[in-house]
Amino acid sequence: MTPADLDEIMEIERLSFLSPWEKTLFVQELKNPRTILRVVREKARVTGYLALYQVLDEIHLLSIAVHPDFRRKGTATGLLLETLSDCRRQGGKTLYLEVRENNHGAIAFYRRLSLVVAGVRPRYYQDTGENALLLAGEIENILKVLPP
Ligand SMILES: CC(C)(COP(=O)(O)OP(=O)(O)OC[C@H]1O[C@@H](n2cnc3c(N)ncnc32)[C@H](O)[C@@H]1OP(=O)(O)O)[C@@H](O)C(=O)NCCC(=O)NCCS
């Protein structure tokens, strides 16, 4: 991801999330050496992206989204598996993330990748008061899952 991608990413953000990240947050994360930001392009167009950071053997997925016109084609799976494979080479072992408990599509996506519920963070999301599910999975197991 580069600053030149941010207009397309902001469109995906707005189409994907109730409370999208501000552009300034992406600019800030692009400067953060711990944060990995990657995009997927189809031809010249950005169709998806992810943000995560790694601390020793822990990987925290901050965000992942695919443009609605490009979903259910394996884009997010491919992007995540490729990035986790790189993280494993840097010592990454376990993936953690939070997801809204009513985000059934994303939860199905993560379950397919063998992630399990490791905890609940009550009223984690300020906009709706929704709980977050804390999901976790071993990268070794996630990498055994094939793209659809
Ligand atoms: C979740 C998201 C990133 C998945 O992206 P994607 O590129 O469509 O995912 P993939 O095509 O790799 O999906 C792989 C598999 O996951 C499961 N899956 C993905 N989205 C699903 C959905 N909406 N409902 C049910 N299962 C789903 C399916 O098993 C799918 O395989 P299939 O299409 O052969 O049935 C995308 O729906 C998205 O951007 N959602 C909005 C943003 C969001 O909620 N992000 C997660 C925040 S924690």
Domains of the chain, CATH where assigned? 3-142 (3.40.630.30)
Task: State the pTM of this model.
Answer: 0.97
How many angstroms does the Cα of residue 68 sit away from the middle of ligand 1?
10
Minimal-distance CA residue to ligand 1 atom 16: 109
Token readout for 143 is 């990498």
To which H or E segment does residue 6 belong? helix 6-16
pLDDT by position in tens, the chain (length 148): 999 999 999 999 999 999 999 999 999 999 999 999 999 999 999 999 999 999 999 999 999 999 999 999 999 999 999 999 999 999 999 999 999 999 999 999 999 999 999 999 999 999 999 999 999 999 999 999 887 7
Alpha-carbon distances of 73 from 68, 77, 103, rounded to whole Å: 11, 9, 19
H or E segment at 66?
A: strand 58-66
| Vertex 42 angle, CA 41 and 44, to 5° | 75
* Ligand 1 midpoint to CA 3 (Å): 26
